[in-house]
Amino acid sequence: MRLFPVLAVLCALSQPLAAQEMTALARVDGGPSKISDGWFGRATLELHLSQGVPFRVFLLEEPARLVVDFREADWTGITTADLLPEPGRVTGLRFGPFQPGWSRLVADLAEPMLPDEIGMPVDKASGKATLEISLKSVSPEAFAAAAGAPVDPSWTMALAAAPVPPPPPGSDRFRVVLDPGHGGIDPGAEAGGLTEKDLMLSFALALRDTLMRDGIDVVLTRDTDVFVALETRVAMAHRAEADLFISLHADILRQGGAKGATVYTLSDEASDTATEHLAARHNRSDIIAGADLTGSDDQVAGILLDLARQETEPRSGAAAKALVAGMNAAGGPMNRQPLRNAGFSVLKSADIPSVLIEIGFLSSERDLDNLRDPIWRAVMVTAIADSIVAWRDEDAALKPLIRQ
Ligand SMILES: [Zn+2]
């Protein structure tokens, strides 16, 4: 693993941090803000804020990205088209909440470029601030030498170790970890004014309440609109000592006119091309958010993991079948091939049965209508909760047999 020298700029404001925290969020003003190409291999980013905030800038490679983290910035109402009306040397842009108290902007770069000017002048009279970054084309070597996430232990810790409540006392209680897909800077699918991240959060909260009424203990990988890295989601399931991990999604999938609820389990080989694409897209979500966690992969002996997987795989499969049966009985509608598999990173716990549910696809008009309908959602929540209970009992009954 290569470690690159860090290009990080922490803006030192005249006020101390504590004083900054007392103030309101800095609003991003989409009107005058803009990212545009300049002459001679240049691009500039100009972001207008209602007040100055601490920020940092760094670069990531493969693919080349510029990342800016802001303390307490509010992006409400700003669209990508506001800031990037015409993709050029900056080909794509995402922004939004990242960690509690921090938001992030990630700009995809068409070519290797380095900032040669970074500043945030604050207007004395109005208090308004402008973040100005000027980028200039450089060689791939120069880019590689400058790229790398800042080494900031407190930041890395926050990314890698979201707090998980310990299992309840006398803990043979069944515990489910619910994982609302996407979040924060990563909205997931967007259609008809809805985002996958918001839909799945409210669905997960409703499912949690229903499961808790059934006496099941529930931990969420996120209960607000924040970004959670895939590794962190898996790590949280382990720390929670989960009996079952369920990732919840409602993606856009154009291939094959995907529609209807579908349950996915982990496998090295994808069941079909559409699923392979879906998994590949999800596995890139850390890259999309500029949260490339290097070296956090478990280097545990492969044989041990394989043994654990041998036992877990059929249990994940049985959980998926129970969920399909339950949702189907509740009226679905189900996908024409409701059980599928692929190499989803978020399902790679060796010892926790894990499934990913596409409750519906936002690319399907019918599914979109269903997902909008509170009654349909309530029926699906109940169906999924009942399926979890059914699988728990079935799995418990099989346990003595497996141990023989
Ligand atoms: Zn998704």
Q: What is the CATH number of domain 168-403?
A: 3.40.630.40
Q: Tell how strand 261-266 and strand 334-342 pair up.
A: parallel
Alpha carbon of 183 to ligand 1 centroid (Å): 10
Q: Is the model's pLDDT at 376 over the cut of 90?
A: yes
pLDDT computed for residue 52 by the predictor? 86
Residue 322 has pLDDT above 90, yes or no: yes
Give the relative orientation of helices 365-372 and 374-403 as an angle to the nearest 10 degrees.
Answer: 90
- Output the CA 208–ligand 1 centroid distance in Å: 19
Q: Place 402 in a pLDDT band, splitting at 50, 70 and 90.
A: low
- Report whether 248 contacts 206 (CB < 8 A): no
CA of 279 to the centre of ligand 1 (A): 9
Whole-number Å distance, alpha carbon 385 to ligand 1 midpoint, is: 20
326-344 per-position pLDDT tens digit: 999 999 999 999 999 988 8
Placement of tokens 């990173």 in the chain = 345
φ, ψ of residue 215 to 5 degrees: the values are 80, 15
Better pLDDT: 23 or 125: 125
pLDDT score, position 242: 93
For the domain spanning 17-150, the CATH number is 2.60.40.3500
Q: In the predicted model, what is the mean pLDDT of residues 223-232?
A: 87
Predicted confidence (pLDDT) at residue 155 exceeds the cutoff of 80: no
Q: How far is the CA of 148 from the centre of ligand 1 (A)?
A: 27
Ligand 1: centre distance to CA 364 (Å): 14
Q: How many CB atoms lie within 10 A of CB 22?
A: 7
How far is ligand 1, taken at its centre, from the CA of residue 152, in Å? Answer: 29
Between 36 and 167, residue with greater pLDDT: 36
Q: Helix, strand, or coil here: 151?
A: coil
**Average pLDDT in the chain:** 84
250 CA distance to ligand 1 centroid (A)? 6
Mean pLDDT, residues 126-142: 92
Name the H helices within 42-132. 80-83
Looking at the predicted structure, is the pLDDT value of residue 172 above 80?
no
On the question of pLDDT at 371 being above 80, the answer is: yes
Ligand 1 geometric centre to CA of 92 (Å): 19
Give the pLDDT of residue 64. 93
Give per-residue pLDDT as tens, 3-50.
333 344 444 333 333 334 445 688 999 889 999 998 888 999 999 999
Contacts for 266 with CB less than 8 Å, ≥ 6 apart: 313, 316, 341, 342, 343, 344, 347, 348, 354
Q: In what order do the strands lie in the sheet with 334-342?
A: 217-220, 175-180, 244-249, 354-358, 261-266, 334-342
In this prediction, residue 2 carries a pLDDT of: 32
Break the chain into its structural domains and give their ranges: 17-150, 168-403
What distance in angstroms lies between residue 20's CA and the mean position of ligand 1's atoms? 35
What DSSP line would sit under 289-335, residue for residue?
TT---TT-S----HHHHHHHHHHHHHHHHHHHHHHHHHHHHTT-PEE
pLDDT at 1 over 50: no
Distance 360 CA to ligand 1 centre (A): 10
Pairing of strands 102-109, 90-99: antiparallel
- Mean pLDDT to the nearest integer, 79-97: 91
Q: Give me ligand 1 centre to Cα 73, in Å.
A: 25
pLDDT band at 301 (very low <50, low <70, confident <90, very high): very low
**Mean per-residue pLDDT, 302-320:** 78
pLDDT band at residue 311 under the 50/70/90 scheme? confident
- The string of pLDDT tens digits covering residues 348-359 is 887 899 999 999
pLDDT score for 306: 64
**C-alpha 285 – ligand 1 centre gap (Å):** 9
User: How many other CB atoms are there within 10 angstroms of residue 91's CB atom?
Assistant: 14
Interval between CA 274 and ligand 1 midpoint (Å)? 13
Closest of 382, 390, 274, 398 to residue 336, by C-alpha: 274
Position 151 pLDDT exceeds 90: no
- Is this structure's pTM higher than 0.85? no
Distance 156 CA to ligand 1 centre (A): 24
In this prediction, residue 222 carries a pLDDT of 93
Distance 8 CA to ligand 1 centre (A): 31
Question: Which has more pLDDT, 263 or 74?
Answer: 263
pLDDT 10s digits, 59-70: 998 899 999 988
Cα 352 to middle of ligand 1, angstroms:
20
